[in-house]
Amino acid sequence: MKKTILLSALCVLLSLPALAQPGYPYGRGYQPRVQTVGRHGNEYVAWHRYYVGLRVGLNASHVNSESPVLDGSGIKTGLNIGLAAGTQLTYRAPLFLETGLYYSQKGGKSGSGEGRFTYDLNYLEVPLIIKYKHFVGNQTSIQPYAGGYLSVGTDGKIKNYGNRTAFSSFDDGYFKRFDGGLKIGCGVGFNMLYVDASYDIGLANIGQDSFDDTHGGCFTLNVGVNF
């Protein structure tokens, strides 16, 4: 399954240059409308009311736990791929509400040599963020954002390299399937192309042991296109 996902992600990346046709500086095939508001006739730009996008990127995640069994503070890399959708909240500002659905590979590492463990925690994730689009030119925008995310675990393994054993991350009493927390980041848009970097701050206790707090964190770098 992982090979299929990686191949799909590669196909998306190869198709980005073809999708990013010139002349669509706001990610859609028409120009934004300009309206006049305010007592003194001040003008503002009403950007497009909605957009959808494709995203693919890289995660660098870790698990911090009070339990030595679950602590995986070493960085583990994984894939992040999904769909995004946003809608404008008000014509008075380029302020957008964005959500989506992602397959996100998270986890962590612990120890070294024969004492090494790796934690695979793969999720279906739904973000909910508020994004502000600041246009610095006809084709370029800077897009800081903040919000949260909810996710449910789909699969994953805990691997003990010392005795060469593997356990299910979610079904063998180690990690809970549900996670949630804060998401902060910033994106850059150029024509239909889009790049962003974000960080997830896990607030939910994802360990099965309720006496020891276990939280995840994840840095993500994504590229994609908006339509």
The answer to whether 93 touches 59, Cβ cutoff 8 Å, is no
Q: Where are the domains of the chain?
A: 2-226
- In this predicted structure, the answer to whether residue 95 has a pLDDT above a threshold of 70 is yes
CA pair distance 32, 85, nearest whole angstrom? 18
Model pLDDT, residue 91? 84
With a cut of 80, say whether residue 178 has pLDDT above it. yes
- For the cut 70, the answer to whether the pLDDT of residue 38 exceeds it is no
Supply 202's token pair: 């896990």
The one-letter amino acid at 224: G
Q: Is 164 within 8 Å of 210 (Cβ atoms)?
A: no
Which pLDDT band, with edges at 50, 70 and 90, does 8 fall under? low
Given a contact cutoff of 8 angstroms between Cβ atoms, the answer to whether 154 and 106 are in contact is no
Flag the least confident range among 27-36, 113-122, 136-145, 197-206: 27-36
pLDDT score for 139: 86
Amino acid identity at 30: Y
- Asked if residue 201 lies in contact with residue 219, where contact means CB atoms within 8 angstroms, the answer is no
CATH architecture of 2-226: Beta Barrel (2.40)
User: Can you tell me which residue has the tokens 């009311």?
Assistant: 49
Report pLDDT for 113: 72
Closest Cα partner for 169 from 187, 184, 155? 155
Residue 19, SS3 per DSSP: helix
Per-residue pLDDT, averaged over 91-107, amounts to 95
Return the bridge partners of 38, or none: none
Model confidence at 151: pLDDT above 90: yes
Residue 111 is predicted with a pLDDT of 83
Task: Identify the pLDDT of residue 132.
Answer: 96
161: number of Cβ within 10 Å: 15
The CA dihedral of 87, 177, 13, 96, to the nearest 10 degrees, is 10
pLDDT digits 0-9 by tens, 196-215: 999 999 999 999 988 899 99
